[in-house]
Amino acid sequence: MEKKFFNHIVHGGDYNPDQWLKTPEIIDEDMRLMKLAHINSATVGIFSWSMLEPREGVYNFQWLDEMMDKLHSNGIDVILATPSGARPAWLSQKYPEVLRVEENGIRNDFGVRHNHCLTSPVYRKKVNAINRAIAERYKNHPALKMWHISNEYCGECHCELCQSAFREWLKKYYDNDLEKLNDSWWNGFWSHRITDWSQINSPKYRGENHISAMKLCWDRFVTDSHISFYENEIAPIREITPDIPITTNFMRMYNGIDYQKFAKHLDLVSWDNYPCFGESESNIDAAVETAFCHDTFRSMKNGQPFFMMESTPSLVNWHDVNKLPKPKMQTLTAIQSVAHGADSVQYFQWRKSRGSHEKFHGAVVDHCGNENTRVFREVATTGAALEKLSNVAGVYCDSKVAIICDWDNSRAVHHFCGYNNKRRDYYAECIKWYRPFWEMGVSADVISMDDDFSKYGLVIAPFLYMLKDNTESKIEEYVRNGGNFVMTYLGAVVDKDDLCYLGGLPANGLKKVFGIWCEETDSLPENMKGKATFNGKEYDVNHVCDIIHSKGAKILGEYRSDFYAGLPSVTENEYGSGKAYYVGFRNDEDLAGDFCRWMAEKENISADSDISVPCGVSVRKRGDSIFVMNFNNEDKEIILQDGSKTVIAANDYLVL
Ligand code: GAL
């Protein structure tokens, strides 16, 4: 069911008035400045635990009461955070078990953030209690519009509590059958058979770290620990404010948590977007990568609008060199997010901190404290522009094409040892196959292998090394029913537990679906390039390639180098009423683009609009609005639907 949470584009971001309570005049000035900047929302309380509970069980809500009222009376909504991302010193001091233990087995001292055990019953109890108190306090506050749970969940803990929780997780996963675990981890190898669950510890460099199936289990356990930690956090919130939507902010393509799984537990997906605009000559690669992330997060809930929970209004402080983005890039970043399905443009942070770690991170209000800055003016311009885009708020997006970029697969790809160990770049590979659609103005979803394929005319699965239990049958059914499925090198090699499929690749019945057999896989060092063709054009073979034989598939290209010259490199197989394609080699230049353009033409996959644009200008349709965005540092001419020409300035946009 489609859910619409907002009727306008939310414009705001992290607001930390608790850092400024000793200068109330600054907080009053914030209200004036927020209105000037067209801010309609503030995210409050993300790291406020020590202000809210200065001593155990002693709550101080007075400052937050005043803030909630002040923001509300100034027409600004509140996204209220739970503070579990960082905790007060008293808590760590009194209950050391809440502190995280690193892989080296040493418990951390108090400090930084995200430094907590995910399993600790004490920490869960304390988090639950403060969340309950916050929810009770503000359940009827008119400013409260959404919950922001914790902040960027991440990391893992290796303490004894987590070790036992991992063992319990494994018992459940393997039906309490140790033999099943031994078989699945192939523990006959190096004499690793286990005879008691207590012999298992988390993977670590000074212990077991070569069983890839075990590492995959650990990854899944860590994801489930985060989800159950989150479920514990939201229990009182759901109970007390059942109608207020809940989110937690994700971080780009962070590999430590399976976001595709986690997203199912959120009302709305949100993510923190820090593109590297301005850090190289051209912004186009960063624009494509950011578009890919937006589409990934949007696809996690079937096209439901998401929130861009954070972005910087100017620079960050955590790159090696923190270059200022050029004028207009902030607005373009905002517009790009809305074009791809965001219902919010939010910043980290509203006012620059005076001290500590992030005092040189960009903020809407700089240390000068007034509105007379380039950054402030640009944010205000963005805010005014967003007010005119309410028509797209809540509008879902559909796509004709899907790229499978699966979190679980990414970890399996990361863990195995073999072939080209240096060049795995799973996400880069997915982006490579996404990019041609971005260039063509064809909207694409980025999905997991668990998602529904049937609504797409074309599904591309780059480097889909691992299959889950039903993936093979989903691919078979999709192609049989008329779909176009593209798989690339090292596809369908292992099952969900990282055991290799026997009987030849690709797995089981997929040999029939693709009409091929893959006999061997070759890897090429960086300085060695092979040659292969597709549709008569010759390409380099980079890093890895499969040596395949046609078993009925049409041959669209062949290898031109090494002992496998003459064997197929790209194939097409008719199966049922659809087609299955196999691209056997990796190429870092034109192959993905040429292949996707050929497919789009052949299968009538047309651009979302008739606007014709040059390289680096992206066109995106959302609802009735067409967004045209120029990521070039030069002005560009575009041709509109009626054939007329217009110029779009460097780093500027149009909404038609
Ligand atoms: C985010 C984080 C914020 C802030 C920001 C700086 O990852 O959620 O709290 O640290 O980075 O870029």
Structure confidence at residue 280 (pLDDT):
87
Q: Give the residue from 153, 134, 356, 362 showing the smallest Cα distance to 236.
A: 134
Average pLDDT over residues 407-417: 97
Determine the atom of ligand 1 nearest the C-alpha atom of 317.
12
What band does 9 get if pLDDT is binned at 50, 70 and 90? very high
Is any atom of ligand 1 closer than 6 Å to the C-beta of 273?
no
Q: Give residue-wise pLDDT tens across range 347-373.
A: 999 999 999 999 999 999 999 999 999
**Is residue 313 predicted with pLDDT exceeding 90?**
yes
Give the position of tokens 């292992």.
494
Is any atom of ligand 1 closer than 6 Å to the C-beta of 152?
yes
**Is residue 337 predicted with pLDDT exceeding 90?**
yes
State in Å: Cα 151 to ligand 1 middle.
Answer: 9
Which of 84, 152, 307 for a ligand 1 pocket mutation test, highest count of atoms within 8 Å of Cβ? 152
Is any atom of ligand 1 closer than 6 Å to the C-beta of 361?
yes
**Is residue 28 predicted with pLDDT exceeding 90?**
yes
Determine the atom of ligand 1 nearest the C-alpha atom of 251.
7
Is any atom of ligand 1 closer than 6 Å to the C-beta of 272?
yes
Determine the atom of ligand 1 nearest the C-alpha atom of 274.
12
What band does 279 get if pLDDT is binned at 50, 70 and 90? confident
State in Å: Cα 595 to ligand 1 middle.
Answer: 38
H or E element at residue 425: none
Structure confidence at residue 4 (pLDDT):
85
Q: Give residue-wise pLDDT tens across range 135-178.
A: 999 999 999 999 999 999 999 999 999 999 999 999 999 999 99
Is any atom of ligand 1 closer than 6 Å to the C-beta of 310?
yes
Rounded Cα distance between 449 and 475, Å, is 9
State in Å: Cα 381 to ligand 1 middle.
Answer: 23
Q: Dig out the tokens for 174 from the structure.
A: 């393997």
Q: Dig out the tokens for 111 from the structure.
A: 């400090």
Catalytic pick among 53, 156, 289, 310: 310
Q: Give residue-wise pLDDT tens across range 175-225.
A: 999 999 999 999 999 999 999 999 999 999 899 999 999 999 999 999 999
State in Å: Cα 249 to ligand 1 middle.
Answer: 10
For residues 599 and 458, the answer to whether their CB atoms sit within 8 Å is yes
Task: State the greatest distance between any 2 C-alpha atoms of the chain, in Å, as a whole number.
Answer: 77
Q: Give residue-wise pLDDT tens across range 493-531.
A: 999 999 999 999 999 999 999 999 999 999 999 999 999
Q: Is 429 among the residues known to form the active site? A: no
pTM greater than 0.95: yes
Rounded Cα distance between 328 and 335, Å, is 11
State in Å: Cα 216 to ligand 1 middle.
Answer: 28
Determine the atom of ligand 1 nearest the C-alpha atom of 357.
10
State in Å: Cα 312 to ligand 1 middle.
Answer: 9
Q: Give residue-wise pLDDT tens across range 543-602.
A: 999 999 999 999 999 999 999 999 999 999 999 999 999 999 999 999 999 999 999 999
Q: Is 601 among the residues known to form the active site? A: no
Give the chain's count of helices (H) and strands (E): 17, 25
H or E element at residue 607: none
Which of 43, 112, 149, 272 for a ligand 1 pocket mutation test, highest count of atoms within 8 Å of Cβ? 272
For residues 215 and 415, the answer to whether their CB atoms sit within 8 Å is yes
Structure confidence at residue 1 (pLDDT):
53
On average, the pLDDT of the chain sits at 97
Is any atom of ligand 1 closer than 6 Å to the C-beta of 352?
no
Structure confidence at residue 3 (pLDDT):
78
* 111 CB burial (10 A radius; 0-12, 13-18, 19+): exposed
State the alpha helices, DSSP H only, in 37-155: 49-52, 62-73, 89-94, 121-138
What is the chain's length? 656
Residue whose CA is at the smallest distance from ligand 1 atom 4 = 348
Domains of the chain, start order:
10-159+215-392 (3.20.20.80), 401-602 (3.40.50.880), 617-655 (no CATH)
* 368 CB burial (10 A radius; 0-12, 13-18, 19+): exposed
Question: Which amino acid belongs to residue 475?
Answer: I
Residue whose CA is at the smallest distance from ligand 1 atom 11 = 348
Determine the atom of ligand 1 nearest the C-alpha atom of 152.
8
**Is residue 323 predicted with pLDDT exceeding 70?**
yes
Is any atom of ligand 1 closer than 6 Å to the C-beta of 349?
no
What band does 247 get if pLDDT is binned at 50, 70 and 90? very high
For residues 534 and 594, the answer to whether their CB atoms sit within 8 Å is yes
State in Å: Cα 80 to ligand 1 middle.
Answer: 16
3-state secondary structure 8-46: CCEEEEEECHHHCCCCHHHHHHHHHHHHHCCCCEEEECC
Rounded Cα distance between 511 and 497, Å, is 21
Strand order of the sheet with strand 306-310?
246-247, 144-148, 77-81, 41-44, 10-15, 342-347, 306-310, 270-272, 249-251
Residue whose CA is at the smallest distance from ligand 1 atom 3 = 348
Is any atom of ligand 1 closer than 6 Å to the C-beta of 347?
no
Determine the atom of ligand 1 nearest the C-alpha atom of 312.
12
Q: Which residues contact 460 (CB under 8 A, 6 or more apart)?
A: 401, 402, 403, 404, 433, 486, 488, 596
Average pLDDT over residues 536-545: 98
Which of 270, 333, 348 for a ligand 1 pocket mutation test, highest count of atoms within 8 Å of Cβ? 348
Q: Give the residue from 213, 212, 112, 221 showing the smallest Cα distance to 158.
A: 221
Rounded Cα distance between 187 and 199, Å, is 13
Residue whose CA is at the smallest distance from ligand 1 atom 5 = 348
Rounded Cα distance between 220 and 214, Å, is 10
Rounded Cα distance between 338 and 322, Å, is 25
Rounded Cα distance between 615 and 627, Å, is 15
Determine the atom of ligand 1 nearest the C-alpha atom of 249.
8
**Is residue 94 predicted with pLDDT exceeding 70?**
yes
**Is residue 2 predicted with pLDDT exceeding 80?**
no
